[in-house]
Amino acid sequence: MIPRVGFYHLQKSSLEQALPRLLDRILASRQRALIMAGSAERVAFLDSMLWTQEPDSWIPHGTARDADAGLQPVFLTDRDENPNDAQVLLLTDGVVSRRMEEFARCLTLFDGKDEEAVRATRVLWKEWKGLGYDLTYYQQTERGGWLEKARANAPDGSNVGVAAGADTTNRVAAGGEEC
């Protein structure tokens, strides 16, 4: 399967603020998610954050410390694995997976205020474009939603822009509405 990758350019919120909202959408679509972070310490931080982010909400999730990884709708790890049979892979902290073909969708989230993260993401865009991956670049809006700004290798031929970060269009993602 050709990987379908969304590049999510965080500009208004941090990963910690955007992640629960993205996970809510994934879970609402009845899909499982795997979050791959850069270190065991980062996994522990995100685990704690997901338990305490919103007093009125709760995102069911687990880590390697928990039993029955296969029962977890969201699993956090610093390893390139898929113990919960997730359909959606979320890459954080600049990590890359060699198993992207196993997922229906991959999201790579990067901090737009970190020039090194932006540079590294542009390199990934070019590399993955050359491999024929279906790529979409989303830029965060003032309200915290996501606007599609560029596409490459789309199966329907609707390619827009030339690289991650290209400001070539104001088309709205996900069926005509800001997501």
> What pLDDT was estimated at residue 172?
37
In this predicted model, what pLDDT tens digit does every residue of 106-140 receive, in sequence order? 999 999 999 999 999 999 999 999 999 999 999 99
> What pLDDT was estimated at residue 161?
60
> What pLDDT was estimated at residue 174?
36
> What pLDDT was estimated at residue 118?
96
In this prediction the pTM is 0.86
> What pLDDT was estimated at residue 179?
37
> What pLDDT was estimated at residue 139?
95
Q: For residues 100 and 56, what is the distance between their CA atoms, to the nearest angstrom? A: 33
Q: What is the largest CA-CA distance in the chain?
A: 47
Q: How far apart are the first and last CA of the chain?
A: 25
Query: Any bridge partners for residue 25, and if so which?
Result: none
Q: For residues 179 and 171, what is the distance between their CA atoms, to the nearest angstrom? A: 12
Q: What domains, with CATH codes, occur in the chain?
A: 8-113 (3.40.50.10110), 117-174 (no CATH)
> What pLDDT was estimated at residue 51?
86
Here the tokens at position 96 are 């890359």
For the chain, list residues with pLDDT below 70: 159-179
